[in-house]
Amino acid sequence: MTTKQTVKSHREPLFHVAKRDDMAWWQAWLIRAVTIILSVVAVGVISMMLTEKSLFETFEIMYRGVFGRIETGSTVMLWKYLQEIAILLCLALALTPAFKMKFWNCGAEGQALMGGFAAMICMIELGGKVPDGALIAIIAVASMLTGALWGLVPAVFKAYFNTNETLFTLMMNYIATQIIAYYVYIKGGGSNIIQPVTHGNLPVIGTNRYLVNILIVAVLTVIMFVYLKYSKHGYEINVVGESQNTARYIGINVKKVIIRTMIISGAVCGIAGMLLVAGTDHTINTKTVGGQGFTAIMISWLGQFNPFIMVIMTAIVIFLRLGTAKVADTCLLNASFADIAVGIVILCVVGCEFFIRYTFKFRHKKKEETV
Amino acid sequence: MSKQPAIELRNITKTFGKVVANKNVNLTAYHGEILSILGENGSGKTTLMNMISGIYFPDEGSIHVNGEEAVITSPKDAFAYKIGMIHQHFKLVDVFSAAENIILGIDDGKYNLKKSTEEIRKISEQYGFELQPEKKIYTMSVSEKQTVEIIKVLYRGADILILDEPTAVLTPQETTKLFEILRRMRDDGKCIIIITHKLHEVLSLSDRVSVLRKGEYVGTVNTAETSESELTEMMVGKKIELNINRTDVNDPKDRLIVKNISCINRQGAVVLDDISFTAKGGEILGIAGIAGSGQRELLESIAGLQHLTEGEILYHNPKTDSIDNLRDKTPVQIRELGVRLSFVPEDRLGMGLVGNMDIVDNMMLRSYTKGKSIFLQRKAPKDLANKIIEDLEVVTPGASTPVRRLSGGNVQKVLVGREIAASPKVLMVAYPVRGLDINSSYLIYNLLNEQKEKGVCVIFVGEDLDVLVELCDRIMVIGSGRITGIVDGRTTTKEEIGLLMTKSKEETKESSDDN
Amino acid sequence: MIVQFICRAILLGVPLLYGSTGEIITEKSGHLNLGIPGIMYTGAISGVIGAFLYEHACGNDADKMNGILAILIPFLCAIIGAMLMGLVYSFLTVTLRANQNVTGLAITTFGIGIGNFFGGSLIKLTDSDMPSVALSKTSQFFCTKLPFADDLGWFGDIFLSHDFLTYLAIAIAIGTSFVLNRTRVGLNLRSVGENPATADAAGINVTKYRYLATCVGSAVAGLGGLQYVMAYANGVWSNNAFGDRGWMAIALVIFALWKPSIAIVGSLLFGALCNANNYIQGLGTETQELFKMLPYVVTIIVLVFTSMRKKREHQPPESLGLNYFREER
């Protein structure tokens, strides 16, 4: 009798959650698309409430912020949009092979910063001493090497001692930041600003200073897609990520793959750093990457490690960032509104995965049959 | 009916995705009896018991405890109904001590580890267990861990005990001891439910037997009124005789000579101890032993996946007539030596295949490095996938379906198909029919026999002694990492093998005690 | 000089201690909450908003302010703000089983956004020339020293001169250590982080523990943000001033080998390392920047060292970072 009392309070659950993996790809993408649209609308509604403008007006401002023209010049904002996409996408592309291998590289920030650092050193030390064409080649190699080095260190420890890579790569970011701070202080002569360097800048195609960055990343996107899907390396990355046991069974050298993949990941981050320093800013400071290394982690994951889907995700996130920044600017809100908006959308999309991977099962209560 | 039904299941149905694990199962167990739940691997025994213990929740049907309908949504509910389950895979926290594991989840007033430890000591003395409550789980042996699990349930004062394959990891002596304890509990008025697929255990221990087949309830019989053949028939559906075709060995040649190999695992325990044998081409060499006696390590050593501390593995190459030592070579190096070695590991989806990849990509696992190009060639694997799907009658929507979605038997067909397609000279298979239905099992036996006739050296690690005795030409028995005997498959008996399996434990124990 | 150095190290270390104690509580339940930096920001700004509103309600007059309310309001605001963020994180990762790393980073983005957004808005409201909000009156209440602190020389300075949040941080860390190791709740919590399937089978409500640990951990971490503003910064909020302390708190968790008692010493050490550059003679500003990477380097060394030694008791909770689904097959 006593046992009964303790259990009596339990009611039969109405439903329970079960795993599913039979959802068609289009259904999954429909859910994601709907979530993104709803969360963007939610962001619109929030900014509407803050600015007392109508929803339509809010989106109109957001649209202008991305596709409109800068008031004074003739530069179309669109280029700025594409440039920002290029940088964030480049970082996300860099992380993807590592993530596919289930190596949580949270160090894109530092790897890119170190790539930019190498570019900066080359530009300052070799600028004027070496023809610009050769200098750019040196910069490219140096950036990739330093980025790769920053990815290599945690990879070696992961491969040989199974050191937690999430935390290791995170720490590496701040070491990179302090190195940059040190360098900026020395070269900036106490002002903490390095004046833009004119040597070793990436070429300007036509009149557009962003075009070369965009083209480089476009090519990288295709290369990364092919690398992951059709190369033997990509296949090995996939096997190691799915099951290290299987990898060992078929004779893949797991340590080698981890280290090789992180060298690639770091090197591509280094390219992103180079695009930022040699291609865009022509100078460097601790905020050059500006936290995009972390946003890139989310992009790569939201894009399901598929470079082409990542392009779409990046476009959405940057649209939100620029659009809400414009809203904040126009309506005298704080600029950090953009961070909140991006945060909301990403949290929603992360949450919606649940409805793709799980399903609710309702209990059909059978009437007691008296046969 | 004078006896009170302790637990009653009515029309229980449970599905996982598209797989029906239990369908309309009805079952009754009484106080003061031992009920066996008998069924082949994959017949839904464990799923059913998991519903009683609150791990899963049934899709349909109801559970009644002591005559009242019970809603068991969590293990906590199960405890409240005095139901305790001892899982096949131990549910213990490795970094905790035995005592911490035992009191985990109990809320009985003040937290006092010392007092609880005393109580645990008392219980283990009462039943004659040997247990140090302060010992950390990760330093324990398998049977010690099981002891912890059993005391855990006793400590909670369970009335209904469910044991899932409790003897799979035990020596015969330990099994006998366990059975004595279980009988004592029954006489105490407890309701004991034991899940097993071993017939002799069922007959020697239980009062009644309920049989499941492919998730469905077949029937219940009194042990005293039944026989091994009747139970087998209930279990497998129709009366089957293990008529495995065994051809004569013709012209056996030494293919693999294993000399005095030893191996130590990560925890520092000796898992292989001075093993020597010769495997010949054109014969099936069976390997028998209690689970975890070193079978896995032995096969992995040959496949180049284990580091050996001693000994050598010599491969006699029939083409070049040269002899190569495979010790400390990686799988790639072994392949480069021209050794045609195929290996069907025990863990199919965790080692042999990649669950999330489709059949074509899984075909490439062995062969993707071929060619100088840095890109993958998917044409040949695709053809191979289609060929295997056709030849082995793999049930799948297509070659681009992830293998994770296939049923156990089809997964195994894909794996065995791939390994045989490499036209091996040595074929190692570990528990190839585990979880497979009868038809798939026979398909696998036939494939192995075919390979044998082609002159391949087949090494077969099995658990079902009947199969080993009928299929293999020679049977090597190992226990605790040592060879305890090699017998002729045609003349030996199950009993002889069983004896060899158990003899070893004693010997090893004595020798380790000396150290 | 040394006394001042130690006091400064304590002041710098306390936010880290809060952050890492909070993160230890969360990680013990098996959830790697990379949202801690954002949560600490949220805690800080929530406290600032609370204090700001209360100061305004009292007409910015320190005499009208009630000492207890002046402390209690920001205190509760910080806890509630941080807890809400923890709730979002646990809803996503526990109930919806979203990827913990991605969710955590999104929470950090979101939290820092919230901090700077409201911070920026407050700054605009005050119409001051400085890009900051000064809540010095509230800060004074927070920083009330213990009696005798001034009379006991160096002893008083080092042990008695701090704000009450500092003592609370140590009390919470010791309390957490006690709960984790000496109580049933702690045992259950550790089992949930080590092996949730086992905990579940033992009748422990894994979901409840994970929610609770994350929310309580977030609240504790949020107090770190508050302590930073009220004690370290003397009640002055300016955007991004909190900096990377959240990440350093996560680093401290590793350094402390998931033990709050070690975190107390560790936070002092980290505080000292962050601060050493100011006290070592003859350091140029540029070398000081290099010095600031010391805590991270030390953390990496500890991380590598423990992973090489492989002592079971020093490893992260076994299922850290993995979501639990009972019907997983």
Could you count the other beta carbons within 10 Å of the beta carbon of residue A34?
12
**The total number of structural domains that make up chain B:** 3
Better-scored residue on pLDDT, B90 or A137 = A137
Interface of C with A in 251-270 (CB under 8 A): 251, 254
One domain, residues B184 and B104 = yes
One domain, residues B27 and B167 = yes
- Tell me what pLDDT residue C149 has: 64
Residues of C in contact with B92 (CB under 8 A): 195, 198
A367 at interface of B, judged by CB pairs closer than 8 A: no
Residue of B nearest to A17 (CA): B57
| Strand A15-19 to B19-30 pairing | unpaired
Residue of A nearest to B348 (CA): A246
- Tell me what pLDDT residue C78 has: 95
Query: Quick one: CA dihedral C43, C48, C51, C56, positive or negative?
Result: negative
A290 at interface of C, judged by CB pairs closer than 8 A: no
Q: Nearest by CB to B376, from A6, A230, A248: name it.
A: A230
Please answer whether residues A120 and A277 qualify as being in contact, where contact means their C-beta atoms are separated by less than 8 angstroms: yes
Contact B18 A22 (CB under 8 A): yes
Please answer whether residues A275 and A83 qualify as being in contact, where contact means their C-beta atoms are separated by less than 8 angstroms: no
One domain, residues B213 and B127 = yes
Q: Nearest by CB to B364, from A20, A233, A235: name it.
A: A235
- Tell me what pLDDT residue A61 has: 86
Residue of C nearest to A345 (CA): C106
One domain, residues B60 and B97 = yes
Q: Which domains does chain C have, with CATH numbers?
A: 2-314 (1.10.3470)
Helix (H) or strand (E) holding A238, with range, is: helix A232-242
Contact A351 C92 (CB under 8 A): yes
Q: Where is the domain boundary, B363, B395, B422? A: B422
Please answer whether residues B299 and B461 qualify as being in contact, where contact means their C-beta atoms are separated by less than 8 angstroms: yes
One domain, residues B210 and B200 = yes
- Tell me what pLDDT residue A270 has: 96
Q: Nearest by CB to B100, from C187, C315, C327: name it.
A: C187
Pure H helices in C65-129: 67-90, 100-126
Contact B17 A251 (CB under 8 A): no
Biggest distance spanned by C-alpha atoms of chain C:
66
- Tell me what pLDDT residue A75 has: 58
Which chains sit next to C, with 3 or more Cβ pairs under 8 A? A, B
The partner residues of B37 in beta bridges, in order of sequence, read: B195, B210
Could you count the other beta carbons within 10 Å of the beta carbon of residue B426?
21
Within chain A, which residues score under 50 in pLDDT? Answer: 1-10, 74, 365-371
3-state secondary structure at position B286: strand
Identify whether B248 is part of a domain.
Answer: no
- Tell me what pLDDT residue B344 has: 94
- Tell me what pLDDT residue A69 has: 65
Q: Nearest by CB to C198, from B92, B103, B111: name it.
A: B92
Distance in angstroms (rounded) separating the CA atoms of residues A303 and A28: 12
3-class SS string, B298-315: HHHHHCCCCCCCEEEEEE
How large is the average pLDDT for residues B434-445? Answer: 81
| Strand B474-479 to B284-288 pairing | parallel
B376 at interface of A, judged by CB pairs closer than 8 A: yes
Distance in angstroms (rounded) separating the CA atoms of residues B179 and B191: 14
How large is the average pLDDT for residues B33-41? Answer: 83
φ, ψ for residue B268, nearest 5 deg: 90, 5
The string of pLDDT tens digits covering residues B227-245 is 877 877 777 665 455 677 7
Contact B91 C195 (CB under 8 A): yes
Query: Quick one: CA dihedral C265, C269, C274, C276, positive or negative?
Result: positive
Identify whether B311 is part of a domain.
Answer: yes
B123: closest CA of chain A, how far (Å): 23
One domain, residues B389 and B477 = no
Question: DSSP letter at B72?
Answer: -
Identify whether B243 is part of a domain.
Answer: no
A256 at interface of B, judged by CB pairs closer than 8 A: no
Distance in angstroms (rounded) separating the CA atoms of residues B166 and B195: 8
- In the structure, what pLDDT confidence band is assigned to residue B320 with cuts at 50, 70 and 90? confident
Identify whether B242 is part of a domain.
Answer: no
Distance in angstroms (rounded) separating the CA atoms of residues B92 and A369: 41
A243 at interface of C, judged by CB pairs closer than 8 A: no
Contact A354 C97 (CB under 8 A): yes
Over its length of 329 residues, how does chain C's per-residue pLDDT go in tens digits?
788 888 888 888 999 999 999 999 999 999 999 999 999 999 999 999 999 999 888 877 777 888 888 889 999 999 999 999 999 999 999 999 898 988 999 999 999 999 999 998 888 888 777 778 888 888 888 877 766 666 777 777 777 777 888 999 999 999 999 999 989 999 999 999 999 988 887 878 899 999 999 999 999 999 999 999 998 888 888 888 888 889 889 889 988 989 999 999 999 998 888 777 777 766 677 777 788 888 889 889 988 888 887 777 778 888 888 888 876 54
One domain, residues B368 and B382 = yes
Distance in angstroms (rounded) separating the CA atoms of residues C86 and C35: 8
- The first and second tokens of residue A271, run together, are 């390219």
Q: Phi/psi zone of residue B42: left (φ > 0), alpha (ψ -120 to 50 degrees), beta?
A: left
- Tell me what pLDDT residue B172 has: 67
Look over chain B and give the mean of its residue pLDDT values, rounded to a whole number.
Answer: 84
Q: Nearest by CB to C120, from A170, A186, A336: name it.
A: A336
Identify whether B212 is part of a domain.
Answer: yes
One domain, residues B434 and B414 = no
- Tell me what pLDDT residue B80 has: 86
Q: Phi/psi zone of residue C189: left (φ > 0), alpha (ψ -120 to 50 degrees), beta?
A: alpha
To probe the interface with B, which of C195, C257, C258, C324 has the most B CB atoms within 10 Å? C195
Contact B374 A235 (CB under 8 A): no
Pure H helices in B13-90: 45-52, 75-80
How large is the average pLDDT for residues B198-207? Answer: 82
A266: closest CA of chain C, how far (Å): 18
Q: Picking from B70-84, B158-172, B308-322, which range would have the lowest pLDDT averaged per residue?
A: B158-172
Q: Where is the domain boundary, B203, B236, B269? A: B236
Q: Which fold has domain A14-68+75-362?
A: ABC transporter involved in vitamin B12 uptake, BtuC (1.10.3470)
B48: closest CA of chain C, how far (Å): 13
Where do the structural domains in chain A lie, given as residue ranges?
14-68+75-362
Q: Nearest by CB to A182, from C254, C290, C296: name it.
A: C290
- Tell me what pLDDT residue A365 has: 47
- Tell me what pLDDT residue A363 has: 59
To probe the interface with C, which of A340, A355, A358 has the most C CB atoms within 10 Å? A340
Please answer whether residues B424 and B341 qualify as being in contact, where contact means their C-beta atoms are separated by less than 8 angstroms: yes
Distance in angstroms (rounded) separating the CA atoms of residues C313 and B95: 7
- Tell me what pLDDT residue B3 has: 66
One domain, residues B415 and B429 = no
Per the document, the length of chain B is 515
Contact B94 C199 (CB under 8 A): no
φ, ψ for residue B274, nearest 5 deg: 55, 60
Distance in angstroms (rounded) separating the CA atoms of residues C204 and C197: 10
CA B514 from chain center: how many Å? 31
B423: closest CA of chain C, how far (Å): 34
Identify whether B246 is part of a domain.
Answer: no
A263: closest CA of chain C, how far (Å): 19
Tell me the residue range of the domain where B77 lies.
5-236
Interface of B with A in 13-72 (CB under 8 A): 16-18, 57, 59-61, 68, 70-71
The string of pLDDT tens digits covering residues B250-291 is 778 889 999 999 998 776 778 898 999 999 999 999 998 877
Distance in angstroms (rounded) separating the CA atoms of residues B152 and C199: 13
CA A64 from chain center: how many Å? 24
CATH number for the domain spanning B460: value is: 3.40.50.300
Q: Nearest by CB to A231, from B59, B353, B376: name it.
A: B376
Better-scored residue on pLDDT, A67 or B456 = B456
Helix (H) or strand (E) holding B65, with range, is: strand B60-65
Residue B504 has pLDDT above 50, yes or no: no
One domain, residues B102 and B15 = yes
Residue of C nearest to B21 (CA): C329
A and B: number of Cβ contacts within 8 A: 96
- State the Cα torsion C172-C175-C180-C186 to the nearest 10°: -100
Beta-strand runs (E) in chain C: 133-134, 236-237
Angle at A90 (CA atoms; ends A87, A93), nearest 5 degrees: 150
One domain, residues B226 and B128 = yes
Could you count the other beta carbons within 10 Å of the beta carbon of residue B311?
17
Nearest to B460 by CA among B363, B360, B346: B346
One domain, residues B104 and B132 = yes
